[in-house]
Amino acid sequence: MAAIEVTETSARLAGGVVTCGSVEGLADIERPDLELVIWRRVPPLRLRTWLEDMDASCLPDIRVLVRPSDLRRAVEPHLDDCGMPPGDMRDLLIGDVHNLVSAFADITRSDLVDVRLERVGNNACWKFHRDCVDARLLTTYRGPATEWVQPHDAARALREQKRFKGPLERLRTHDVAMFKGSCAGSGSGIVHRSPPIAGTGQTRLLLCLNTRSATSSEPWPKVFNSRRR
């Protein structure tokens, strides 16, 4: 089975922002001088084509609080329910999500990870904002990816919102980003937003990983078993 290919080695983009060349490099987010770490990568073409060609109704919309070791068992029933076809490509997607969940758990020292694998057909979090978390992992498997601004433009983007004309940075589809949030300290967190796609007919598939919070569900399998009764 093909692995996700790395396209860049570690390099500094701007103050507080770096790229890395492997999933292990995401752990650099623990450095006090960094606000955002981006792992640049390119998926196997057949996975990208498979996701792009899939009917949007077959994309999942899942949220589950889970141990990394239980990820596959937790999400596969949801993928069956939404009609995502089983096979090598689905296995590759699940394997990639599992690797990212495991890495996030290690970096944040968490036993449980709040996993959201979401089908997004609107502007979602369209406002420029900082996440109210210590750290968050984002990657977009299909459609336009998250937009963000350099730290020196953050105050203006927050103030102007839709009137902000840039400069604006964009993650690429399948890039993996570890963001610090506002809970990491005063002034912490990269200002970012969801790409505006309302009215375009596009549907995104977004993975968002967080540590457990007050808005998390009960840990799997408890919540899964209660829904199956």
Strand partners, 195: none
CA distance 73 to 98: 11
Q: Break the chain into its structural domains and give their ranges.
A: 5-227
Q: What CATH number should be reported for the domain whose range is 5-227?
A: 2.60.120
Q: Which residue has the tokens 């009764």?
A: 229
From first to last of its 229 residues, what are the pLDDT tens digits of the chain?
344 443 333 444 667 899 999 999 999 999 998 999 999 998 899 999 999 999 999 999 999 999 999 999 999 999 999 999 999 999 999 999 999 999 999 999 999 999 999 999 888 888 999 988 999 999 999 999 999 999 889 999 999 999 998 899 999 999 999 999 888 876 678 999 999 888 899 999 999 999 999 999 999 996 544 444 4
- Helix then strand then coil, in percent of the chain rounded to 5, is 35, 25, 40
